[in-house]
Amino acid sequence: MGISTFPLTGVHYTNQVEGIINISSLSIGQSFFSNGQPFQTGNASLQLNSMVDGLFWAQDVALICQESPNTFGIRMVVNFWNLTGPFTIKVNNGTVTSFQGLGVICYLGPNITVKTPFELGLFMTENSSGISFSFSYNGHNRTYYFVPVTGSFQIGGYSKLNLPNDLEFVWGGPGGGSIVPLSMNSSAAILYEQGGKMVLPRETYSIGFDTGESAEGVSVNADLSSVFSPKVNEVSGTDDPKVLWPVPPSISISQKNSTVNVSVSIDGKVIPNQKVEIESGFPLSPIAESVTDSHGIAVFRNISSSLFVVYYPGNFTLSYSYALSSPVLNSVYSSLQSYYHKLLNFLQSEEYSFKKGLTSFFNNGKYVSPPTTVNYLLLEYIAAISLGVIISALLVKLKT
């Protein structure tokens, strides 16, 4: 559960991807494997995963260990997979191994300790030398690993293993294909570089398609109160796979004589300044165009027919959609479908991917508390000062 993007039309190539999350509260239960066998208690993974040219799978992962209700240890981990076979390259740090016939580079990175609420960012950047793995916490960015493999992050199409090339920022168990129950309240976003700036994706889902780990008890919901700046909230609830956006608006039609009023809204809120068309014929062709007013209503005049189709072309988070003026048209235009429904059909058809997903290779990567060092000289100074304060207080008392 989390947020992912996978377009059905076209492919995006980018040199940077990132996931950002603000966590207000988090409770991690006992993870387990799909056969019911218990695994670990209080451990989960937050993964930024992306395919590289459909040939490699890059994972920038935060392994999160709950130490108290609001204190967490986080260890950064890299998994980098070769989907065509074992690796033959050498790396400065980390382990080059193979798993299920695929090459894996596994690196256990730095540790940090955080308290809720906190913001955490995961970043992967590609250049002509290879791919860098980074994270940010409290406004400080740190690059902690580098893999000397070149290629672009590919969003769209299918990988060498026939898995979707999605970009995903998702919660899961602490490795090995495990499942973890979570109770949480957070907001998250994924972005990728396009035209020199980081942008939000136009198609998003509440699940990832590639990783074998998963989480339960997390409900991911879109906040579309600003249609061009959507938000994603992750809260405790039912973990249903869903399309976050684009979603079709509600379209209602009323006609009186030759005047047609079309109302456009989302979640009960009207949407002004939206282009709407009336189409007719077979195949469909536009016969009139209007824009919704401040009440979310587009007015069309001189519409002589009672049989027509209202077409809404959509915008950033709202899917293009159709509405029929009469049930009679259902038999003629039964194939009309919004982009949302096409995404939904894809989501339903991809449920198999939970069984096909790649099992992350960081079962033994755990948060390691930093060693406690004692400055005995400092303690002596503190003790001496404390003793001096006590003696001074006693002298003052004796004088009085």
In this structure, the chain runs to a length of 400
- What is the pLDDT, as a whole number, of residue 235? 96
Q: Average the pLDDT over 273-286 and give the result.
A: 89
- Structure-model confidence comparison of residues 260 and 387, the more confident one: 260
Say whether the peptide bond before residue 117 is cis (omega within 30 degrees of 0).
Answer: yes
Torsion of CA 319, 17, 140, 214, to 10 degrees: 80
Assess whether pLDDT exceeds 60 at residue 385. no
- What is the pLDDT, as a whole number, of residue 375? 42
Q: Average the pLDDT over 239-245 and give the result.
A: 92
Is residue 326 very low, low, confident or very high in pLDDT (cuts 50, 70, 90)? confident
- Structure-model confidence comparison of residues 139 and 43, the more confident one: 43
Is residue 371 very low, low, confident or very high in pLDDT (cuts 50, 70, 90)? very low
Q: Average the pLDDT over 257-272 and give the result.
A: 92
State the pTM of this model: 0.86
- What is the pLDDT, as a whole number, of residue 71? 96
Of 35-39, 194-198, 328-332, 342-346, the one with minimum mean pLDDT is: 328-332
- What is the pLDDT, as a whole number, of residue 283? 80
| Percent of the chain with pLDDT strictly greater than 70 | 88
- What is the pLDDT, as a whole number, of residue 28? 95
Is residue 70 very low, low, confident or very high in pLDDT (cuts 50, 70, 90)? very high
Assess whether pLDDT exceeds 90 at residue 2. yes
When the pLDDT of each residue in the chain is averaged and rounded to a whole number, the result is 86
Q: Average the pLDDT over 171-188 and give the result.
A: 93
Q: What letters, b where the CB count within 10 A reaches 16 and e where it falls short, cover 93-108?
A: ebebeeeeebbbbbbb
Is residue 397 very low, low, confident or very high in pLDDT (cuts 50, 70, 90)? very low
Q: Average the pLDDT over 238-262 and give the result.
A: 92
Of 103-107, 138-142, 167-171, 310-314, the one with minimum mean pLDDT is: 138-142
**How many Cβ atoms are within 10 Å of 197's Cβ, its own excluded?**
7
Structure-token pair, residue 371: 């060693």
Assess whether pLDDT exceeds 70 at residue 370. no
Rounded Cα distance, 45 and 52, in Å: 21
Q: Average the pLDDT over 280-287 and give the result.
A: 86
- What is the pLDDT, as a whole number, of residue 35? 87
- What is the pLDDT, as a whole number, of residue 135? 97
